[in-house]
Amino acid sequence: MSSIEVDKIVPATGTSLTLGDSGDTFTIPSGVTLTNNGTATGFGGGKIGQVLQTTVTDTSSYSLSSDASADITGLSVSITPSSTSSKILITTSIMGARSGDFPILTMFIKRDGTKIGSGVDSSNRFGATASNVIVQSDPNSFTTIGNQFLDSPSTTSAVTYQIAVNNNSGVSRTLYINRTEDDADAVGTIRGISTITAMEVLA
């Protein structure tokens, strides 16, 4: 097998360089790193470039006035897109409960502090990413809510996605994450896990 050792390959004319012919195969040996400092095209879109996930198993509670929101401590993920045309698929799942009658647990996504991937706020109605009703009669019950949203941040700078909860009950309530309202130390009481996953989808 012959080899050519050069520091740089420059097109003889114009600005295009063709490697091989149709049907040829180029093999990249194990351990070789290809670094792209420009724009790579023609590789086909929809491939996953990177996957980052944050999981939270700690329990927490948030005492909120009516229509107040709170970031869930630790439930965020930062990702740096490799291209401005990349999309970020956000997958969320939280387990929790809420105090009071007719308990509804409501969550939403924020990108760098701005709510995204949710319904539209309308007067007193809160635009949420996901929501669910918890069994009213059992203070040791809770629910799991989640969703997916394909975001287009249009940047190559780091972006942070945060999961937050909202108290849309009309009165002050306490929201619980990864635990029930009573959190009784008894058989049948559940502790939960909450996650957020960011996947870069290459254009």
The domain of 148 spans: 48-201
Diameter of the chain by CA atoms? 78
Q: Give the chain's residues under pLDDT 50.
A: none
Residue 43 has a pLDDT of 60
Tell whether 112 is covered by a domain: yes
Element containing residue 91 per DSSP (H, E): strand 87-98
Tell whether 26 is covered by a domain: no
Tell whether 4 is covered by a domain: no
Residue 44 has a pLDDT of 59
Strand-pair partners of 167? none
CATH of the domain at 164: 2.60.120.1340
Residue 133 has a pLDDT of 83
Q: How many domains does the chain have?
A: 1
Which pLDDT tens digit goes with each residue over 150-161? 999 999 999 999
Residue 95 has a pLDDT of 95
Residue 45 has a pLDDT of 64
Tokens describing residue 56: 């939270």
* DSSP of 98-125: E-SSS-EEEEEEEETTEEESSPPPBTTB
Q: What is the C-alpha separation between 177 and 183, in angstroms, rounded?
A: 11
Element containing residue 71 per DSSP (H, E): strand 69-79
